[in-house]
Amino acid sequence: MTDAFAFPQDFLWGVATAAHQVEGNNVNSDCWFLERLPGTIFAEPSGDAVDHYHRYRKDIALIASLGFTSYRFSLEWARIEPEEGHFSVAELDHYRRMLETCHEHGLTPVVTFHHFTSPLWLLAAGGWEDPRTPARFARYCDRAMKHLGDLIGVACTLNEPNLPWLLKELGLGGEAPERRASVPLWAAAADRLGIEASSVAPFQFTVSEAGFDIKLAAHREGRAAIKAVRPELPVGWTLANTDIQAADGGQDRADRIRREVNERFLAASREDDFVGIQTYGRTVFGPDGVAPAPEGAETNQMGEEIYPEALEATIREAARIAGIPVMVTENGLATEDDSKRLAYLRTAVAGVASCLADGIDVRGYIAWTAFDNFEWIFGYGPKFGLIAVDRATQERTPKESAKFLGSLARAKVAQSV
């Protein structure tokens, strides 16, 4: 690679958030409900988050001031349709103001229609294993598009529908329906909702063939609803694709998991306009499961190996299997040491440049995440943000990593590492 690599003029440089992780007080969602149940697996409740719901104008202005050209954020279905069939014009207007603010500051809005959280009523009705869910999701996409579609730059239907299959391999959920009654959280959820534990099927934690079929149908019906309003709008979904590797004796296991977690979802993406790739590192499998990080390897705040080279591998895998344009919709590092994040980002971006140099159609690089925020079951501990947040005062402070990526966005050039 030469001293610098020029990115395409229309290449998107951005940061990402998810509504539940930043907005705060998302009281009608299934995640808000699950955070507070006996036996919860969440380290703490989301609460006010970083109050992005009220602070979005200044937040979006800050993102733009750093040099970024896009902002990926999600609509909160639980706000827009808090009761089945009842849509809130006030909440749709809120998201329209967010989109308008992006345009005022020259940011292309990359909008995710479902980022893990669903309305609580959907969970009570069978969630992501219920055959009615795809039509319900498509109805919501249609209503949102008719109110917001003219301002959306790129549309993502579902965020990381494949993640539960990876979490299962890591020992984080994925119980079969008949075993859910033995899990305290799902038993408590069923009791509160007045349903059978076998029917508790939240998006993030459900691993079943029915769940795969329902998510794929929801993606396709949602895509059709979006395209019916704006046929030219680029639509895809985003996948949690770790770089799956094998240790000695682990090749068969790694191959099986790669097929289940990465390859079948990429194959299902072939009719889309692009596929979003979300990679944080590699997962190495031995014959008995996940292999530990190599001795002496640096690790992130969750104890995982820091391995930025993974992104180049998953982009190449996506291009090979899906055969459509790729957009990096998440990539980042959980660390309190921003110098480690800077080093990680330099290597990751160099990998993107290498893919582009080889003729792979990569449309953008969107970092996770804009702000230190609520990281699902891990609570507020992991710090992925390019912008620090003092949650006592909600003061925002850009880190050097934010300035570095913003400078690349301004120059549209990646320096060699």
Cα 303 from Cα 385, distance rounded (Å): 18
Give the residue numbers marked as catalytic: 160
Cα 62 from Cα 75, distance rounded (Å): 20
Q: What is the DSSP letter of 342?
A: H
Strand ranges for 164-303 from DSSP E: 235-240, 243-246, 275-278, 282-286, 289-290
Cα 57 from Cα 70, distance rounded (Å): 15
Task: Report the amino acid identity of residue 195.
Answer: I
Q: What is the DSSP letter of 360?
A: -
State the sign of the Cα–Cα–Cα–Cα dihedral 161, 166, 170, 176.
Answer: positive
**DSSP annotation string for 30-78:** HHHHHHTSTT---SS--TTTT-HHHHHHHHHHHHHHTT--EEEEE--HH
Cα 241 from Cα 231, distance rounded (Å): 28
Identify whether the C-beta of residue 208 lies closer than 8 Å to the C-beta of residue 177. yes
Coil, strand or helix: which one is 341? helix
Burial 12-50 (b: 16+ CB within 10 A, else e): bbbbbbbbbbbbbebebbbbbbbbebeebebeeebeebb
34, 276, 289: which is closest to 156 by C-alpha? 276
- H or E, element range at 109: strand 108-114
Q: Which stretches within 294-399 are classed as H helix?
A: 310-322, 338-357
Q: Tokens 């992130």 sit at which residue? A: 300
